[in-house]
Structure 1
Amino acid sequence: MKERYGIVIDSGSSGSRIQIYRWEDSKELNSNKSTDDLKLKSIPQIYQEESWTYKTTPGVSTFGDKPSKVWDDHYEPLIEYAEKIIPRENWKDTPIFILATAGVRLLPTKKKEKLMKTICYEVGKESKFKLDNCADQIQIIDGETEGIYGWIGLNYLMGQLDNYDSKNSNHPSYGFMDMGGASTQISFVPNKKTEIEKHRDDISTVYLRNVNGQTQQWDVFVSTWLGFGANEARKRYLNQLINLLPERNNPSTDDDFNTLKLTDPCLPKNAKYEYPYQGFTYNVFGSGNYEQCLKTTYPLLLKNLPCTDEPCLFNGVHAPEIDFFKDKFVGVSEYWYSANDVFHTGGEYNFLKFSEKVKLFCESDWSDIQKNSANGDYNNLPDDLLKDACFKANWVLNVLHEGFNLPRIDIEAKMPDKVVEDFDNHIPFQSAGAIKGSELSWTLGKIILYASSQIKSNDDLKVGIKPSDNEVKLENKKFIPGGIGSKSSSSERDYETLHALPIFFIFLIAATGVYFLLYKKSSLKNFGNLITSNISKIKSKINNYRYTRISTQEISVLEEGRSEAQSNGTSSRPQSPSIGDNSFAGLRTRSLINLNQGSQGQQISSNENSFRPKKKFSSTSIIFRSFKF
């Protein structure tokens, strides 16, 4: 059976991670009479070995001022890693996708465009993998696109994309929640058909394709909240505490006095650290008060903002109704880190169990926490992450229960004896880092879209993501194709034009030399002087053309119409580089609401997933599906 490969590089703010995938040729599968019927009614089965991933640091955004080094110092090691895994005979047919998120999105427009063009040129020139269209394959993606990719990957792993029949309108799915450092996301298919129709303008449509050519169609709501990730919420929280201090209203007249004291109920007792803010350095001391921490973090949700289109979740952002007695959600990133690493409650969520452990931790003395850490109780987390754990756990509690309205089972509400028949042993929410050894990454969703787009269709539908009507109207967002552009595209192999430039100049010089040798021998010396005097001009022309004429079509930027200060929904541990700003804004244009911090020069970090030491997955050669927690 012929094998296909695909490469997705997640270029976030803390680094770029390559993910390599493999699947069987769907055309051969479809024509093989022995192929299992379940396979034919499902999207292609994706395989990945545990070693098929590799990361380079720092983030690609750090090359905004030195784009010429982005290949040698950043992407070359990733491509060389892929070449060791993918058989040489498959290179020319293996598509490569480089999808930039938080860090690049925060760069100034000119630097961002130049960097993306340079990546296109360098990867196209140096790599032997399939790069037909930079506009489709080398992109900056927004948080909502990332959220839908995550939804696709999750439901693939959970087996919800298997055995799909378009004649059956009842196909259950899992909702996807992701809390990063700078933003949090949610994507789900509303359980009630009436909710889908009622909120159709806010629903995106995902098209996938089975091996047998039948197209799957899913109505997915997705939204992201910038500034509501764990790291940025922590900064807003501390800034809020500082602005309530008497010293802020009665600043010292002593120019040499620049150290102030701050008491933090979300910091374990007797823990301390320094926090810089607006030219002052604050000594933060922990008071370890769980109840006070929970109450103090609640206002950060901005539930008080007006909701122009009911119902709303938080920060005035509209969303279809969520029925947690029927819907199932899986949370990743901080939902998993907070629960698993410190409190050992990852997996099925239990409010009482989780909140009790959070309270015990928050109100513990810092010296006791350090002793427990030395005994290996917290997965070897560094002290700075342990100091943040109390706040982040309380933030998770507030986002889940006050933000997304997840009921506190057995406290606020009783689970019905009989829940929807499609789900046995109903679990409204659970956290996960991996599913049966397979990493839950949004890059999986991207390669699933591509693999299914290569199958011949039985209808006129195209594989990809159709944005909601509101996104089209307000953000001018276009259909996101599942595959790559055709070779007739205006941006086809854009770097080939650049390849021709040096050859052209070499040919010109050689032809001129022959002319002087054959017809102007006496002027040979003048020819040498001519070349010497003009060599810098030739280099300048090559470089100028290299960066300004890559294609007649600009590199696609999916963030058109959005704030330049947006980042994706994954967190960064340690916190990623920051830029100056004094506001946060929801990623959805209809909810771009400035959150007044009562400050100037507010630091907003670019956003990537909270750093955690990579754990070895159990040996796996296939991305498992149909897995029940």
Structure 2
Amino acid sequence: MPPPTAADAWLTGRRFGAVIDAGSSGSRLQIYSWKDARLTRSDPNAGSLDTLPKVEKGTQSGEDWSYKVEPGISSFGDNTEGIAAYLAPLLAHARTHIPPALQPETPLFLLATAGMRLLSPVQQAEVLQATCHFLKFHSNFRIDDPSPAGSCGSSVRIITGEEEGLFGWIAVNYLMDGFVGTGRDRQTYGFLDMGGASTQIAFEPGQEERERASNLIDVRLRLLDGHEVNHQVFVTTWLGYGTNQARERYVGKTILDSESSRSPSTPVASEENVLDPCLPKDLRLTESPIQSEEPDTHPRKPHTLVGTGSFEQCLQQTLPLLNKDAPCPEDTSCLFNGVHVPPIDFSASHFIGVSEYWYSSEHVFGLGGAYDVVQYERAASEFCARDWADIMREHRASREQGRLGGDGQVEQSGHVVDVGRWGDNVEIPRLQMQCFKAAWIVNVLHEGIGMPRLVDPGGNSTTAGDKVAEQAQSKGLGRPTFQSMDAVGDIAISWTLGKMVLEASKEVPPLSASVPPLQDPLDDLKFTDDSPVSPIRPPFLDFDAIEDQLTHRLSSSLTRQALGFSPIAFLFYVFVVGMMVFVMFRLRHRLRSTIRRIHKKNRYDLSEGYAMEEAQPLRSPSSLPWSPSTSRLSFQVLQPLKSLSSSLGSRAFRPPPIKIHSHHLPVRSSHFSPIRTSPIRSLSTPVLRAQNGLTAPDAANGSATAFVPGSPRLDGGSSVSVGSVSSLSSRSRNSSQMNLTSLAARQTISRTNSTMHVQPGGSIRYEH
């Protein structure tokens, strides 16, 4: 079937979204659509805008909006090369029914559930990576960029049981108009979901409980008029409390109880018979204690369960499976298995159950819809007490007459061509397990969740399912406390619908640009140790999976149970630390030289700072007279002398001997002080200042002259005059050479005529 064309009126202003529900038995593509909110706002015939966008099937007619492939994507955990061929039909179906021009703006999600949760984290990561690569590079649909959620962001990932419950809660309240109304007029429905492996609950607590609770999830949705509705929802899941896993635990417990009551003198038969009240009368099934709590107390050999057909005894024997005695956190309320749940006010909270709640009520008993526990238990008691042979005769007759009901679907080439029919592989197991499932649902609803039993004081024999709503209204309870449902109109209640309601709500323009964009509830959640939901993020390394492969090769003393920690993780970290030590040992010489260079550089920077402050010459770090053991005071005292000695002994420049003739020079005797002094300042202080009366007449012309090392000499070899020296010294206070006059200021020189000769090499000789 070609995609709709632009001339199609139904397509005008229509938006699309697609979800692949990757379950344990298969993956189902579901296409949804809704009208663009901008066009709806501008339509004068649109009606009230205080509702959410209308999300409906993504095709105009037929069941083409849904397409399923088998088996589950989790079966490719060890063969990711087959994922491309597995997903190709789903992707082709989506391209066929969504216009090509709209595909780039159509979000496509593949959200995996229970089957993928059972894989190891490494297998999960490999399957998600292969799926992301195929969807991103073989379609034009909108796929999220990489994020902490995965390589395709939130478009391809594994969702938790809590997320399923949260999306289901949105779907139920969307279909039941739970988001319509304002203030106290708006009452949302609670959501109950039970599958084969787990069961979930999601509901909005009362106002007082919302103020006290800290583990609620904020759900933000935007109406067509731009206003937002906010709800705080509690959601949790019980793993292992679905019908199939509960049955496995029940079988193990029943066999163990039978073994414990058997007399030791009784011979052990190869196949033992165990009475089972949760099977129809005289039904015989051969099973093994798959999940027995004490597997070593008895061999896991087959046992034949023989049905006794007692629904009342089945209720009693399945009740301990709820684990009501499990410890509950202090100052909190728990329902069963020690799971905290805020108190539920059933006079105001009304629940809708899907999946097994619907199947176990409607397909055998015909009691789907408003729930009455008395009528339900009566139907279950009658069914369980019937002979299995009688049940099979009625089943065959119903099938021949085409009256067999059920949720089964007949599919051809992935298309649903008929509904309400069961295949033999589904019909018979359903009839076999109906008695147990009915007892399990009653216990979960009333003993587990705490739903009150509504009993008619006038007698229960007249209660009928279609009168429950009217009866509840007459008792002042309003809507039925609980009802099982499968669809509203032609839209099935599914968590995928709730996901699409969120996506449609995100596309509604807000009233103000300052309003933050809508996010999935879990994307807005800051995950901590006490978060109500923890996302599934496959880790980089899966030590548990490695241990599972190596446990049979290890002795019992090296297991996690014996050591108290993971030996595989311990060896891994020891290996990492060992590799780091080995690399550092091989690079020890380079590391040592690098540390030395850094150390010398720091010493040079410190000495350079001192030299710049005192106008000392700057040298390479190798010639520094400083060492870490030298105190700061000794550095201040010795640095000028060492700098002078280095200056006088420099081979780069050796000036000729200098003669200074003094005729009764009034030179003061200055005492050497450890206080830091500048040699340039000492040059001008004792000699060049006129107020001191210090002159050095030249022997030839009587002019006062002095030689400044490092300064230019005039033609003819004459020295720079004192005036020039004064001006030069004022311009060259940062000169790298030392003036001898600074030395003269630190000596006691005779006032008589004397001649001082500075010999090469730095020695001094006086002549009188």
TM over 0.5: yes
- Within-5 A mapping of 1:174-253: 174-190=189-205, 192-199=206-213, 201-246=214-259
Give the drift of 1:249: 7.9
Q: Which of 241-250 and 426-435 deviates more?
A: 241-250
Is 1:36 equivalent to 2:46 in the alignment? yes
1:144 counterpart (150, 162, 173):
162
Structure 2 CA distance for partners of 1:68 and 1:118, relative to 1, 3 Å? same
Aligned twin of 1:10? 21
Q: 1:78 aligns with which of 90, 103, 106?
A: 90
Distance 1:213-1:559 versus aligned 2 partners, 3 A rule: farther
Give the whole-Å Cα distance in 2 for the aligned partners of 1:310 and 1:477: 14
C-alpha separation between the residues in 2 aligned to 1:418 and 1:237? 37
1:18-57 residue pairs with structure 2 within 5 A? Answer: 18-30=29-41, 32-38=42-48, 40-48=49-57, 49=59, 50-57=63-70
Change beyond 3 A, Cα 1:345–1:253 = closer
Give the Cα separation in 1 of the matches to 2:316 and 2:185: 41
Aligned to 1:366: 388
Residue 464 in structure 1 maps to residue 519 in structure 2: yes
**Contact map agreement 1:105 1:564 (CA 8 A) in 2:** no
Distance in structure 2 (CA, Å) of the matches to 1:362 and 1:434: 28
> Which is worse superposed, 386-395 or 21-30?
21-30
Separation in 1 of the partners of 2:384 and 2:269? 31
**TM-fit CA distance, 1:88:** 2.1
RMSD of aligned alpha carbons = 3.0
Q: Tell me, yes or no, if the aligned pair for 1:140 and 1:559 is still in contact at 8 Å.
A: no
- Name the structure 2 match of 1:118: 130
CA shift for structure 1 position 417: 5.3
| Aligned-pair CA distance for 1:441 | 0.7
Question: AA paired with 1:212?
Answer: D
In the superposition, the TM-score normalised over structure 2's length comes to 0.58
User: Distance in 1 between the 2:195 and 2:453 partners?
Assistant: 23
- Percent identity (aligned): 38
1:11 aligned partner, one-letter code: A
Extract unaligned runs of 5+ from structure 2.
1-11, 146-151, 290-298, 406-421, 459-470, 550-768
Q: TM-score, normalised by structure 1?
A: 0.71
Instruction: Indicate how the Cα distance of structure 1 residues 99 and 248 shifts in structure 2: closer, same or farther if over 3 A, else same.
Output: farther
Query: 1: CA distance between counterparts of 2:543 and 2:248?
Result: 20
Shift of 1:371: 1.4
**Aligned residue for 1:61?**
74
Structure 1 residue identity aligned to 2:434: A
Contact 1:20 1:82 in 2 (8 A): yes
> Are the aligned partners of 2:279 and 2:384 in contact in 1 as well (CA < 8 Å)?
yes
Q: Which amino acid aligns with 1:198?
A: R
Mapping for residues 149-168 of structure 1, pairs under 5 Å: 149-162=167-180, 165=182, 168=183
Query: Highest relative contact order (Cα 8 Å, sep 6+), 1 or 2?
Result: 1
Q: Go from structure 1 to structure 2 and tell me whether the alpha carbon gap of 1:20 and 1:328 turns closer, same or farther (over 3 Å shift).
A: same
Q: Is the 8 A contact 1:183 1:224 kept in 2?
A: yes
What amino acid is the match of 1:185? Answer: Q
- Give 2:353's aligned residue: 331
- For residues 48-71 of structure 1, what are the alpha-carbon distances to aligned partners after superposition, in whole Å with 9 as ceiling and x for unaligned? 044311111111000001111112
Work out whether 1:295 is the aligned partner of 2:306: no
- Change in 2 beyond 3 A, CA 1:468/1:127: closer
Supply the distance in 1 between the matched residues of 2:367 and 2:327 (Cα, whole angstroms): 35
Question: Match of 2:493?
Answer: 440
Are residues 257 and 95 of structure 1, via their aligned partners in 2, closer, same or farther at CA, if it must alter by over 3 Å?
Answer: same
Structure 1 counterpart of 2:503: 450
Shift of 1:477: 7.9
- Aligned equivalents of 2:532, 2:204: Cα separation in 1: 20
Distance 1:232 1:44, change over 3 A: same
1:390 aligned onto 2:435? yes
1:314 corresponds to which residue? 336
Residue equivalent to 1:621: none
**Superimposed CA distance per residue, residues 131-174 of structure 1 (whole angstroms, 9 cap, x where no aligned partner):** 233111001100111101000011111122245x5xx3652111
SS of 2:529's equivalent in the other structure is helix
Contact 1:204 1:468 in 2 (8 A): no
Distance 2:36 2:117 in 1: 35
Q: Is the 8 A contact 2:144 2:153 kept in 1?
A: no
Moved more, 229-238 or 451-460: 451-460
Distance (whole Å) between structure 2 residues aligned to residue 418 and residue 350 of structure 1: 14
Contact 1:26 1:455 in 2 (8 A): yes
Matching residue's letter, 1:45: K
- Larger CA deviation: 461-470 vs 202-211: 461-470
Compared CA separation, residues 176 and 452, structure 1 to 2 (3 A): same
Q: Distance in 2 between matches of 1:386 and 1:478?
A: 36
Question: How far apart are the structure 2 equivalents of 1:99 and 1:469?
Answer: 18
Shift of 1:285: 1.0
Letter in 1 for 2:274: L
What is the CA deviation profile of residues 598-617 of structure 1, one whole-angstrom value per residue up to 9, with x for unaligned ones? Answer: xxxxxxxxxxxxxxxxxxxx
Decide whether aligned partners of structure 1 residues 9 and 412 sit closer, same or farther in structure 2, where only a CA change above 3 A counts: farther
3-state SS in 1 of match to 2:344: coil
How far did residue 90 of structure 1 move? 1.8
Change (3 A) 1:448 1:469: closer
Task: Give the 3-state SS of the residue equivalent to 2:153 in structure 1.
Answer: helix
CA distance in 2, matches of 1:374, 1:158: 38
Task: Output the CA distance in 2 between the equivalents of 1:349 and 1:280.
Answer: 40
CA deviation after TM superposition for structure 1 residue 247, in Å: 6.5
Aligned residue type for 1:400: L
Counterpart CA distance in 1 for 2:499 and 2:368 is 26
Give the 3 Å change call, closer, same or farther, for CA 378–230 of structure 1 in structure 2: farther
What's the counterpart of residue 367 of structure 2? 345
Equivalence map 1:499-510=2 (5 Å): none
Counterpart-to-counterpart distance in 1, 2:509 and 2:244 = 45
Q: Distance in 1 between matches of 2:116 and 2:72?
A: 9
Aligned pair count reads 476
Report Cα offsets for 1:414-465 as digits up to 9, x if no partner.
9685747xxxx42110001111121111000111111111222235244234
3-state SS, counterpart of residue 84 of structure 2: helix
User: Secondary structure at the residue paired with 1:99?
Assistant: strand
Moved more, 312-321 or 332-341: 312-321
Q: CA 1:24 to 1:42, structure 2 compared with 1: closer, same or farther past 3 Å? A: same
Larger Rg, first or second structure (1 or 2): 2
Aligned residue number for residue 612 of structure 1: none
Q: Distance in 1 between matches of 2:187 and 2:106?
A: 33
Alpha-carbon distance change, 468 to 57 in structure 1, aligned in 2, over 3 angstroms: closer
> Are 1:408 and 2:453 counterparts?
yes
Residue-by-residue CA offset, 1:247-291 (whole Å, 9 max, x unaligned): 79889999x964222211000011111113364111111111111
Letter of the 1:7 partner, please give it: A
Q: CA 1:291–1:143 in 2, change beyond 3 Å: closer, same or farther?
A: same
* 1:47, distance to aligned residue in structure 2 (A): 1.7
Q: Partner amino acid for 2:169? A: W
Query: Secondary structure of 2:29's match?
Result: strand
CA offset at residue 104 of structure 1?
1.0
